[in-house]
Each structure stands twice: as C-alpha cells, then as structure tokens.
C-alpha cells in the first residue's frame, strides 16, 4: 500500500535506498547544510538488520570487537532529524512515472528525490559446488557470524581471491585457528594495487606466517562429502586442496538491479550510469557508491570515493554546486600483520615515469616510488614498512616538488642522515591528508589556528579527518601537535582518542576510585569503545593495582595483546617462544637437563640470551601447556618475556667465585628478580648486579643496576641499550641492602605511577621536571608524601604474586585458549613449518625445497634502482 502523507508537512520526500557506509555519509552531509530539516522528510530503506557500520574494519570482529563497536550512526542522529529508518526492509522496485519506491513489505513510498546507495554484492565464481554447505562470502556482520560458526567444526579453510578483502578474510581464518590457503587467479597477490616485486615480497611475508598462497590458478570445482559438505577445492593447475570451509572473496559487482528494472541506463559491466553530479538519466534519482558508474567510466569499490560521491549528491540536493570527477584510490592496510600501501600512479603508467626502488628481503621490505619527468612524485608501493605512507600519499597528489631527493624518502632512518622519511611539516597546505573525506593539510591547520580545535578528537569532529579508514591518523596527530605548538597552545597529552587523560592520570583515577574494569573506566572517564592503545595500557594498570595480578580472567583477557593472550612471544612464522625464568642467571645441572630434554622432545630451537637465560623457539599454541607443565613440575616459572614487565636481573659470579668481587652479586640478583617478577610496567624493565667496579654484568646499561662497593651498594637508574643507548645515572651510593631494596621499590612504583605509555625509564627521568634531583627528593626525602603508599603497593605486589603459567595449568577453563584448532584441541597447526639449520631448526622460508634450506645465500640490503623509459 502507499503510505499516506501528512498534509501539514510541507517538506519534500527523499528516499535513500541503502544504509551502508556511503548511505550514512550522505545523510550526514545532507544535514550539514543549513535548512535540511525544513527541506526534506527522509526515509531510509536498509536491507541489513542493523544501522550503518564500519565495513572496512569488519575483520576486527574476529578478534574481539563487537558488532556494536563498528556502528557509524551517532547516538540520537536519526531521531534528531526525524529520519525514518526501516531496517530489514530494502527497496524492491522503483516506479519512475509514479515516483514511488516499493519495499520488501509491500509498502509504497512516494519520493521527490531518490538516492540509490545499494552498494555491491560479492562475486561468486560459478564453479560446480559453489553453493555447497561450507561455502561463504565475506561482506556483512552476518557473513562473519556464519564463518565463525562453520570454523568451529573446521580445520582447513580456503579463500578464493587474493585481493584486499581476500587477504583480510585469510587473516580472519588464521585468527580462528584454521590452516589457511589463498587462491588467486592473477599471477600475484593484490594485482590491482602492487607490482610483481611487491607481490613477491607480500607473498614471502604471508607464507612465513603459515598461509599457503596459490597464484596463477583458478577455482575449478568444489568437492563435497555424502552430506553435501565441502571437503576439497580443485584448482585449474591440477592441485586439490583439502577444505572444510571456502570463502569467496573474488571481487564485487554493483547492485544495480533496481535501476535495470526501472529502465535507468547501466554500464556494460554493471553500475548505474551517473554524471559528474551523481545524477542518473532521471534527474530526480541519484546513485552513489559502489552501485554507481561514475562519469569517468569507473565503478569505485573503496570508501573514500563513495564518501566523495555522497557529499556531491548532498550538495546538489541542497541547492549547491558539486562535482565528482574521480577520486584517490590509495590504500593502506595491515594484511595478516603485514603493512601494505599503494597510492597514486603506482604502476608507472604515466609517460616518461621513472622508478626508484628500495628492497631488503631480509626484513621483507619493498618500496617503490614513481617519479614524473619533472621530478614530481606520481605514486608508489610500500610492502612490509608503510610508515612513510602518511607523508608520501599527500605528496603524490600535490603540485609541490619533492622536498628531498626521492631515495631519502625510501631509505630507513637507520641509514643515517640521508635516511628516513620527511615529516608532515614538509607538505604544502593543499596536500590532502585524509583522502576518505578529502581534508587538506591547510584545512586541518585552520581548524586548529582559527577554529579553536585543541585536540585531535576535536579536529576529527570538525573536519572528519581520520574518521574513515584511519591511515592518516599518524600524520593528523603530527599536524595538530605542530600547529598547537606554533600557536603557543599547550598540547593535549591524552592517551588516545578515547581518553583525554594521560596514562599517569588514568593510573591515579583507577587507584583513587578503586576502578577494577576497563568498562567502568571507559564509561566514567572516556568515550567510544577503546582501541589497541588504551586497552592493554589500562590492563597493565589494573594488573598493578588490582586484587589479583592474573591477566587472563574475565574482561582482562580481552584487553591483552597477542603475546599476553597466550603468555608467550609470537614469532614471525606463527610459532611461539618459551622463556622460563632463570633468576640471576643461576641454573643447576638438573635444570639445564630439563630444558634440554624439553627442547629435544618438542623439537625446539634453543638460544642463550644476553639476559642470562635460555629461550626455546618454535612451539605451537597447543604445545605451550605440556611444555610448561614439565617446566613448572621441575621448579621453573614464567620469565615474562612476553609482557611489559621485569625481564631479567643479570649478575656476575661476584665474590663467591671471582677474586675481584667484593659482594655476593648472585644472591642479590636472585632476590631482586624474585621480588619484582611479574611487575607490570609502562615498558619492559631490565636490571643487573655487578660484584665489583669492573662491571661485568653491565649494570649501568639497565633500567636499574647495582654495583657492589667494599662497604655496600651503588644504585644506578635510567640506563638502556637498544637504538639509543644511555648510561645510567647514580642515584644512591654505599647503601646497605635494606636501604637499596627500599629505594628500588620506590623507584619502580613511582615510575609505574607517573610514566607515559611505552616510556622507558631513561626518557622518563629526562622528562621529569627537576630530573634526577626531583627523583631523589621524592623517593629518598619523601617530598611528595607518597613513600608509604609506594612501599605498600610494592609489598602488595610481592605478597600477591603468582606464576601465570602455574595458575593457568591448574585451571582447565584457562587451558581452553591454547588450541591451534578450537574443534580439535591437541591438533598442531600444520602451517607452522621448519627446516634444519646448524643442527637445529628455523622457520621455513620461500625458496626452501623439500624441507631443506637453499644452498645459495640470500643477498639483501639497500638497493636503489632506476627504470629508464
């Protein structure tokens, strides 16, 4: 039936068919225009059962993100504008003569303007068996739920399609514990975005993670069992892959059936034909996003062009001029943990274009810049290291000359003064920083200098920069900080966009208010849903201040990163390392034998580290519990190599054995390591104890180091090695053991209380107002009156400490997470492969044949090449 209209409502009727990302952006752009509420009565017809959500980050739902976390519609937005959103009721027909839209329920809605934002649908190759039980597409939240459900009973999954979505789907299957294959018809992965060399680099990195890649082959048929369930996928090259689950991600096609049925012109390969104003052949009907064939003859499958089309249509319907003549198709993603970016004329199709290349196969890095005949940057490809994308992409769209020679834009910072990318400050004001919303550097600077925006969050709200794919976040933050500094405004130092407070301020809030959950902290003092920055940071604070230090119970488990989640360090091929604690570096022959037997029995690689302990590499997730059961039974405990916590306290043999030693450095090192084990901190902590001034334990290169004197102990703080080594500073000297330990207690707890996220003790001390003198005043003279509290916190840590692995092994429910395949606990991941080398094992690499390493060594390192026409 036709819906009756309110005779007193003089607004014109606008129907939006589709409520995806582009549809929501259209609504926001429409109501940004003054008078839109008085001009339009809007009805939105949505096919899905929920309002618009962030499809770009759909993969995050496989790793704990909730569906509601992806919501794009601001709270109250629909109600405040009187928008009639009909969920699960898509448009099914358009009567152009009668100007009505028929919905799935049979309702007919009249329109004065109709906007088609119906998006696209996944292309499924018409191979035999494509509709078998176990075949899925990867497009919606419901698709994710179906894949997750099927994966619970699967061991092997195959993704058909090696493009952006295909590799995201592969990452999802791997995260679900499936052995994963990727099948791509083209000769390389991501054929539209990167070249052959980039594709080879990406393939190497992905295969190192245990994902099998098959290029130059097409899906030929899907074999099923007697019950009609998928059991294998046959390829055109004769390969047959075992498969319990097949995900088709072989591209999308425009959803243009509504237009076809009502007689609107569509392209030969699909897409509703529109002009530069996004109008169809019927001036009352607009089409935007993936369903539209733009005036330049392209169907755009990325969100940024869709947003630009949405804004164009909104301007036109608001009585303003607006044109869409094309869009930036640059992309930056982290696919299976590998950074990949492509921007501008990445394939060098411009006449006279030259390439500048950098490749380091050891690190899995490939970079290419395409330079125009006039020396301008036309485009580029980045694989393995895309940190410079935020600067390079705007340069490719700018008319400005390169600020430095092109090779400087590619070389890593470690190459010296000539290396490292230029910063956002070098970009001209017309450089587009956010391609999703077409926001320039000049617009961002104006928002800060003239618009009163004093935080990144405020700039996001004002300009929408950084609210799309998120790839411009780093450049945006830099620009806002620089502009605030230029105007003399104090820069906000909030932890992330969800908290305006610093880490130290959040620590105080949690301590004073007794907050025990991230959910409560976010609700009372933050906004949004949290992110990969604030979640583990808050988890660390809660572990320090909470009643129990165990990190994998309840809500705490969802806040941890990958290493903490499995109480082990993830290695490059998907295996894990096992690092038992060896306090002070002292280990008995029986302990050595236990470690040796475990390494032998489980086939692990062993290495003595600079921290005076033995690391074992190559364990799969399912092997971690049985390995640790044997270690715990032998008296070992977690070495916390996976956490931001105390790692080791090194020691020399001291006066017990060394003729130069003046104190028992080993005994002190053991006591200190056992006292501070498991202490969560803003960053890792390292320590050492030397038995004399000869300093064999290198105590002055540690976060806190102790050197024996003939009358006591000297304490040094704020040292570190790494890329920027720093000699530690002498804090106290010739103190007795009790005073020494009390001083270290207070030093560590004051650091944990006041340091920023991921701030080592060295920069923390340098940042303290008053530096070392202030630190002495606080922890020695109690100038702030907090020493009793610091003492109490450390005492509580010592009293409540429990070995995380021992606590895990004693709880069957906690052990459930340690399975390569959720449906087959105890089954190892066959994708984690090794080859022999120097009488041990190492992760297999592309080029290894029949389980052996190549005889010809790999040559790697900086390589600059220039392609001539």
278 φ, ψ to 5°? 65, 25
Residue-wise pLDDT tens digits, 769-809: 888 999 999 999 999 999 999 999 999 999 999 899 999 99
Q: How far is CA 726 from CA 195, 611, 761, 763, in A?
A: 42, 18, 10, 10
3-state secondary structure of 479: helix
Whole-angstrom distance, CA of residue 532 vs CA of residue 558: 11
Q: Residue 690: helix, strand or coil by DSSP?
A: strand
Tokens standing for 381?
Answer: 């490809």
Distance CA 358, CA 641 (A): 33
Q: Which residue in this structure is represented by tokens 């894990």?
A: 576
Angle at 830 between CA 825 and CA 831, to 5 degrees: 120
Give CA–CA dist 519/186, Å, rounded.
Answer: 46
The matching CATH number, chosen from 3.50.50.60, 3.40.50.1980, 3.40.50.180, 3.30.70.60, for 124-250 is: 3.50.50.60
Which CA distances in Å does 380 have to 384, 431, 470, 615? 14, 16, 19, 40
696 is in an annotated binding site: yes
Pick the CATH number of 12-121+254-317 from 3.90.1170.50, 3.30.470.10, 3.40.50.300, 3.50.50.60: 3.50.50.60
HSE (CB half, 13 Å, CA atoms) of 539?
A: 24
Distance CA 817, CA 656 (A): 45
Nearest to 670 by CA among 601, 753, 581: 581
The two beta strands, 685-690 and 704-708, are parallel
Contacts of 739 (CB under 8 A, 6+ apart): 732
Which among 340, 354, 364, 346 is positioned nearest to 412, based on CA atoms?
364
Helix, strand or coil for residue 428?
coil
Answer yes or no: are the C-beta atoms of 689 and 649 closer than 8 Å: yes
Tokens, residue 869: 């026409």
Residue found under tokens 């839109």: 36
Across 175-218, the runs of DSSP E, i.e. the strands, are 179-184, 212-215
Q: Within a 10 A sphere around the Cβ of 864, how many other Cβ atoms?
A: 12
For tokens 């030093």, name the residue: 747
The token duo for 583 is 């306090």
User: How far, rounded to the nearest angstrom, does the alpha carbon of residue 16 sit from its chain's CA centroid?
Assistant: 33
Whether the Cβ atoms of residue 149 and residue 163 lie closer than 8 Å to each other = no
Beta bridge partners of 254: 120
| Nearest-5° Cα angle at 825, 573 to 603 | 45
pTM of the model: 0.62
- The region, left, alpha or beta by phi > 0 then psi within -120 to 50, assigned to residue 724 is beta
> Sheet harboring 377-383: ordered strands across?
331-335, 338-344, 377-383, 365-371, 354-360
- Please give the distance of CA 219 from its chain centroid, rounded to a whole number: 31
Return d(Cα 125, Cα 160) in angstroms, integer: 9
**SS3 label, residue 320:** coil
Q: Looking at residue 272, what is its pLDDT? A: 97
The Cα 640–Cα 579 span in angstroms is 8
Neighbours of 781 (CB within 10 A): 9
Q: Is 135 annotated as a binding residue?
A: no
Say if residue 692 carries a ligand binding annotation.
yes
Identify whether the C-beta of residue 687 lies closer than 8 Å to the C-beta of residue 672: yes
Total Cβ atoms within 10 A of residue 186? 16
First to last CA, the chain: 65
Phi, psi for residue 538 in degrees, rounded to 5: -65, -35
What gap in Å lies between CA 408 and CA 403, rounded to an integer? 10
How would you class 87 by CB atoms within 10 Å of its CB: exposed for 0-12, middle for 13-18, buried for 19 or more? middle
pLDDT per position as a tens digit, 305-331: 999 999 999 999 998 988 998 887 888
Structure tokens at 765: 């001390």
Query: H/E/C letters for each residue in 808-835?
Result: HHCCHHHHCCCCCCCCCCCCCCCCCCEE
User: What does the block give as tokens for 686?
Assistant: 């390292």
Q: Flag residues of the chain having pLDDT under 70.
A: 1-8, 63-64, 397, 399-400, 412-426, 469-471, 489-492, 547-549, 723-724, 820-831, 846-869
Specify whether the CB–CB gap between 215 and 162 falls below 8 A: yes
719: tokens are 């040292």
Task: Please tell me if the domain spanning 12-121+254-317 has the same topology as the one spanning 124-250.
Answer: yes
Closest residue by Cα to residue 378 from 365, 396, 354: 396
Give the architecture (CATH level 2) of 647-802.
2-Layer Sandwich (3.30)
Domain boundaries, the chain: 12-121+254-317, 124-250, 503-560, 647-802
Q: Is the CB of residue 719 less than 8 Å from the CB of residue 702?
A: yes
Q: Are 571 and 534 spatial neighbours (Cβ–Cβ below 8 Å)?
A: no
Q: Are 573 and 567 in contact (CB under 8 A)?
A: no
How many CA atoms lie less than 13 Å away from 104 in the CB half-sphere?
12
């Amino acid at each position: 039936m036709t819906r009756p209209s309110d005779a007193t409502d003089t607004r014109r009727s606008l129907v939006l068919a589709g409520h995806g990302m582009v549809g929501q952006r259209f609504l926001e752009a429409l109501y940004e225009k003054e008078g839109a509420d008085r001009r339009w009565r809007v009805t939105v017809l949505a096919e899905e059962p929920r309002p618009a959500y962030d499809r770009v980050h759909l993969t995050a739902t496989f790793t704990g993100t909730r569906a509601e976390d992806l919501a794009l519609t601001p709270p109250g937005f629909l109600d405040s504008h009187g928008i009639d959103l009909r969920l699960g009721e898509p448009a099914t027909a358009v009567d152009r003569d009668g100007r009505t839209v028929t919905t799935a329920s049979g309702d007919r809605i009249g329109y004065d303007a109709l906007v088609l934002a119906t998006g696209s649908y996944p292309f499924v190759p018409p191979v035999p068996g494509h509709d078998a039980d176990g075949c899925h597409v990867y497009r919606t939240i419901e698709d994710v739920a179906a894949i997750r459900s099927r994966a619970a009973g699967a061991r092997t999954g195959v993704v058909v399609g090696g493009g952006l979505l295909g590799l995201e789907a592969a990452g999802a299957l791997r995260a679900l514990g499936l052995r994963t294959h990727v099948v791509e018809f083209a000769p390389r992965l991501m054929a539209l975005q990167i070249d052959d060399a980039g594709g080879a680099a990406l393939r190497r990195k992905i295969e190192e993670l245990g994902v099998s890649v098959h290029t130059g082959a097409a899906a030929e048929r899907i074999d099923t069992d007697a019950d009609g369930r998928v059991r294998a996928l046959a390829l055109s090259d004769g390969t047959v892959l075992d498969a319990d689950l097949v995900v088709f991600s072989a591209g999308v096609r425009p959803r243009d059936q509504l237009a076809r049925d009502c007689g609107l012109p569509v392209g030969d390969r699909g897409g509703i034909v529109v002009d530069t104003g996004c109008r169809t052949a019927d001036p009352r009907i607009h089409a935007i996003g993936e369903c539209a064939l733009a005036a330049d003859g392209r169907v755009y499958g990325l969100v940024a062009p869709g947003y630009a089309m949405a804004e164009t249509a909104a301007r036109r319907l608001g009585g303003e001029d607006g044109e869409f003549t094309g869009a930036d198709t640059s992309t930056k993603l982290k696919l299976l943990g590998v950074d990949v970016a492509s921007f501008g004329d990445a394939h060098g199709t411009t006449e006279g274009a030259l390439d500048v290349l950098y490749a380091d196969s050891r690190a899995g890095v490939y970079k290419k810049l395409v330079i125009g005949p006039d020396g301008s940057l036309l485009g580029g490809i980045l694989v393995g290291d895309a940190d410079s994308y935020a600067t390079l992409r705007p340069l490719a769209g700018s008319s400005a000359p390169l600020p430095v020679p092109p090779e400087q834009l590619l070389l890593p910072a470690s190459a010296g003064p000539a290396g490292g990318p230029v910063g956002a400050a070098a970009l001209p004001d017309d450089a587009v920083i956010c391609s999703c919303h077409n926001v320039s550097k000049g617009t961002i600077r104006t928002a800060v200098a003239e618009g009163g925006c004093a935080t990144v969050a405020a700039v996001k709200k004002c300009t929408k920069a950084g609210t799309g794919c998120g790839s411009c976040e780093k450049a945006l933050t830099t620009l806002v900080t620089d502009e605030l500094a230029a105007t003399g405004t104090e820069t906000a130092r909030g932890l992330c966009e969800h908290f305006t407070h610093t880490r130290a301020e959040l620590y105080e809030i949690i301590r004073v208010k007794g907050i025990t959950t991230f959910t409560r902290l976010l609700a009372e003092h933050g906004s949004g849903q949290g992110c990969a920055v604030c979640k583990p940071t808050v988890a660390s604070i809660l572990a320090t201040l909470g009643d129990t230090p165990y990190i994998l119970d309840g809500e705490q488990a969802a806040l941890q990163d990958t290493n903490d989640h499995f109480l082990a360090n993830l290695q490059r091929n998907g295996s894990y390392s096992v690092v038992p604690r060896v306090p002070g570096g002292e280990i008995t022959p029986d302990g050595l034998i236990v470690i040796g037997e475990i390494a032998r029995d489980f086939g692990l690689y062993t290495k003595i580290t600079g921290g005076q302990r033995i690391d074992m590499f190559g364990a799969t997730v399912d092997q971690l519990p049985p390995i640790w059961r044997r270690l715990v039974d032998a008296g070992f405990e977690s070495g916390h190599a996976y956490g931001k916590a105390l790692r080791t306290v090194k020691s020399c043999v001291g006066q017990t054995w060394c003729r130069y030693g003046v104190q028992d450095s080993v005994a002190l090192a053991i006591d200190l390591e056992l006292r501070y084990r498991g202490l969560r901190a803003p960053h890792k902590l390292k320590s050492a104890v030397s038995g004399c001034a000869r300093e064999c334990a290198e105590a002055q290169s540690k976060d806190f180091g102790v050197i024996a004197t003939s009358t006591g102990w000297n304490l040094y703080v704020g040292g570190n090695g790494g890329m920027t080594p720093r000699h530690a500073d002498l804090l106290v000297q010739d103190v007795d053991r009790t005073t020494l330990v009390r001083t270290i207690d207070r030093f560590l707890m004051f650091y944990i209380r006041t340091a920023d996220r991921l701030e080592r003790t060295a920069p923390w001390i340098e940042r303290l107002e008053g530096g070392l003198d202030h630190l002495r005043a606080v922890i020695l003279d109690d100038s702030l009156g907090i020493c009793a509290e610091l003492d109490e916190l450390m005492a509580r840590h010592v009293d409540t400490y429990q070995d995380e692995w021992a606590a895990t092994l004693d709880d069957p429910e906690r052990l459930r997470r340690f399975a390569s395949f959720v449906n087959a606990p105890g089954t190892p991941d066959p994708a984690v492969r090794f080859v022999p080398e120097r009488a041990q094992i190492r992760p297999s690499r592309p080029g290894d044949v029949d389980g052996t390493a190549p005889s010809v060594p790999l040559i790697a390192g900086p390589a600059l090449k220039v392609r001539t026409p």
